[in-house]
Amino acid sequence: MTIEHPSATVADRPLLSVRGLGKRYGAQIGCRDVGFDLWPGEVLGVVGESGSGKTTVLDCLSGRVAADGGQVTYTKADGSVVDLRRLDEAARRRLLRTEWGVVHQHAREGLRMNVSAGANVGERLMALGARHYGRVRGRALDWLARVEIGESRIDDLPETFSGGMQQRLQIARNLVTEPRLVLMDEPTGGLDVSVQARLLDLLRGLVEDLGLSAVIVTHDLAVARLLAHRLLVMRGGLVVESGLTDQVLDDPQHPYAQLLVSSVLQP
């Protein structure tokens, strides 16, 4: 009998491959020696307390913060592989606009506050070449409805929205172009519980329908359980544990992971 550990059964190359990623802020370690592979259709959760380095990892991936060391390779839609740390600024921006979405923890950072909600959503479509005003507006309306923002608000400025609505608008703005990879920093933070459930369902549906891949930073283990296939547990800038989400949550190995899981009510 042959026993196999075939590492690849569907796609043969990860969408995103990270090795030895590190970032220091002076004497302070942001993150150190972070490595993982993200496969198409996979959602990776990054959990840990504040200051553990979760957001630093995400910022290094999006290029918002320049990493000090390591390698981040991405397989583009056309099949070519790029090293993100060696990409020039223009090429990186093009990639972010066409194949990636980035949802920031604070919605204001991901929105254009001086244009309407509809324009915020339509902008990315137009950046990809959509020109027909009616169609762009139609898609914008559709996405606003999917994140439960009423049609009557399409011409309002994000400034007039509540924090939770701004966050939903930011998500609509990012997902309207159906990106291949979405980076999300606490996407459900500060949302009403009812909207959070709707958003979780929406995200899971997109993963299933579009084969969307995502890296989601969250401190909420219940959100991680429902959305992520795999988890990284971070502490002090290091990944202290990784594995299947339910395994990490139900049988954590590292002392810190055990503490984290045992400290919350019903993850």
Partner 1 sequence: MSGPALEVRGLAKAFVLHVQGGVRLSVLDGVSLAVQAGECVVLADPSGAGKSTLLRSIYGNYLVRDGQVLIRHRERVVDMVGAPPRLMLDVRRHTLGYVSQFLRVIPRVPTEQVVAGTLRARGVEAGEALGRARAMLERLRIPERLWALSPVTFS
Q: Which residues bind partner 1 (CB under 8 A)?
A: 1-10, 39, 42, 193-194, 197-198, 200-201, 204, 208-209, 225-226, 229-230, 243-244, 246-247, 250-251, 253-255, 258-259, 262
Cα–Cα distance measured from residue 167 to residue 188, given in angstroms and rounded to the nearest whole number: 8
Minimum distance from residue 116 beta carbon to partner 1 (Å)? 29
Nearer to partner 1 (CB atom), residue 121 or residue 233: 233
Question: Rounded to the nearest whole angstrom, what is the least distance from the CB of residue 200 to partner 1 in the complex?
Answer: 5
Residue 146 is encoded by which pair of tokens? 């999917």
CA contacts within 13 A on the Cβ side of 165: 17
Helices 163-175 and 193-210: crossing angle in degrees, nearest 10, is 10
Minimum distance from residue 167 beta carbon to partner 1 (Å): 18
Q: Which is nearer to partner 1, 1 or 77 (CB)?
A: 1
Helical packing angle, 133-146 and 163-175, nearest 10°? 130
Q: Which is closer to partner 1, CB of 120 or CB of 196?
A: 196
Question: Parallel, antiparallel, or unpaired: how do β-strands 100-103 and 81-83 relate?
Answer: unpaired
The whole-angstrom separation of Cα 177 and Cα 127 is 10
Query: Could you give the CA distance from residue 137 to residue 121 in angstroms, rounded to a whole number?
Result: 9
Q: Which of 9/152 has CB closer to partner 1?
A: 9
Q: By C-beta, is 119 or 207 nearer to partner 1?
A: 207
Q: What DSSP state is assigned to residue 64?
A: S
Structure token pair of residue 172: 């609509």
